[in-house]
Structure 1
């Protein structure tokens, strides 16, 4: 029994390795999947066939694969069941209407932040965020506000173990500076980033609390860095903090 269970686990791990390739690639051939995954071609062929049969992959006339529609079904279920997202969306829309820039909601997933909701900017300006995108906790205002509110020992362990890799021109890669920024974020209940996840972009973020007082999400406005000068920042900070508090109250938070 143990041997069969182990074999099933190996199969599942390999299947996930194949599916993970499609995070960065829209379409892949079988040879490309084998090369990128490091798995034998026969294994990839078998995995791709099974995943296609279950609807997790689809194959076109040229024999290349892409993610199947089954993921849309699961993704829709996850989205519908995220109470946080439903509670936050009206507040996010109102905030976007006030400031004009994109509004994002992120939650922590291990050592990363994942964007679970976004309201697009009023102007057709591209920024780096999208639903489902992941970012390291140390980079960008919205992910960093989650890191700021981790328990002190957990935060310090993260800071000691994570590699602070530059992503944008302004990514903070000095640990001492990052510690200081995190202390300020927790003290002031907001944080600001400039060119950290994408050069030329900026963001202001504040924490969202649940009924127990725990931080469950980060809320941010993000847009071109030119929109986030010292003349505009105080108003943006105030509006983001107010919106985050409004979402928190909807979640049962009774703080200040």
Structure 2
């Protein structure tokens, strides 16, 4: 029987020497990382340049990657993800839990901004808060895990409304009066149809959210509390989460171009990329 070296346990000493790998595979990994960063097929010359190595050095690595299926070449000869890479990616995506994967980002957001952070998903009753990370000084608001948010009068709800399909949005809006700070259907629908048309002001607000990549709610629905919210997308481009920063009005820069908003959008972009969404690349 062949003996294999013991696998180090997670509790191994932090000062243990790093394991020695295969140097040539490190170079192969640099090529793969460069292709992922580009998010598009690349020629041999461009891919080698992106990885910081001569084409003559890169080529043998790419040949091996083609042989095992991690890469393939399109009709123009550019390198792109191969069938094995796609299968590995699908396995990874199937194992992802958006709410679990968001946890480190949520904790870091609260720590770095000093603000409360909420995570919401689109549940059966609408946008539902599933996680709250309180700031050092908790906010005195009625928001708690399980709260279902209005698609009209809350930033979290409008972020979902901006990114779901028209028929899904229409169905949710018809029940908006049941949610926190909800609105009546007459407040958002301009007429009848399938789905009915939205009133101009609300439709323009949703368009602005898609343009800005986020939304704000200043002293609404809770007076004295400002909220910034941004979407997280999955590999299909569908919204799977909304993250929100909340703090007392006037205590932070609540503009879409301000520091907190940029920090929030950076976190949601990282999560979206982790879930396979390449739209922002």
Which bin holds the TM-score, normalised by the shorter protein?
A: 0.5 to 0.7
Q: What does residue 134 of structure 1 align with?
A: 148
Equivalent residue in structure 2 for 1:115, among 129, 142, 160: 129
Structure-to-structure mapping, 1:165-176, within 5 angstroms: 174-175=187-188, 176=199
Q: Deviations over 1:153-211 (max 9, x none)?
A: 4334544x34558966xx87743322221111112110001233322211001100112
Could you tell me which of 200, 206, 210 is aligned with 1:182?
206
Contact residue 127 and residue 222 of structure 1 kept, 8 A: no
Task: Kindly state the Cα deviation for residue 82 of structure 1 after the two structures are TM-superposed.
Answer: 8.8
Matches of 2:158 and 2:256 in 1, distance apart?
Answer: 21
What is the CA–CA distance in structure 2 between the aligned matches of 1:148 and 1:235, rounded to whole Å?
A: 23
Aligned partners of 1:172 and 1:178 also within 8 Å:
no
2:236 pairs with 1:212: yes
Task: Provide the secondary structure at the position in 1 that maps to 2:229.
Answer: strand
Offset of residue 248 of structure 1: 1.4
The alignment's C-alpha RMSD in Å is: 2.8
> How far apart in 1 are the matches of 2:209 and 2:138?
30
Structure 1: state its 5+ residue gaps: 1-80
Are residues 134 and 104 of structure 1, via their aligned partners in 2, closer, same or farther at CA, if it must alter by over 3 Å?
same
The separation in 2 between residues aligned to 1:110 and 1:166, in whole angstroms, is 12
Q: Unaligned 5+ residue runs, structure 2?
A: 1-94, 189-198
Residue 134 of structure 1 aligns to a residue whose secondary structure is: coil
The structure-2 alpha-carbon separation of the partners of 1:157 and 1:165, relative to structure 1 and needing over 3 Å to count, comes to: closer
Structure with the greater alpha carbon radius of gyration = 2
* 1:88 shift after superposition: 0.4
Q: For residues 171 and 256 of structure 2, what CA distance do their matches in structure 1 show?
A: 35
The normalised TM-score by structure 1 is 0.59
Residue matched to 2:138: 124
- Which residue does the alignment assign to 1:90? 104
Which residue is equivalent to 1:104?
Answer: 118
Q: Where is the helix percentage greater, Structure 1 or Structure 2?
A: 1
Distance (whole Å) between structure 2 residues aligned to residue 185 and residue 119 of structure 1: 24
CA shift at 1:90, angstroms? Answer: 0.4
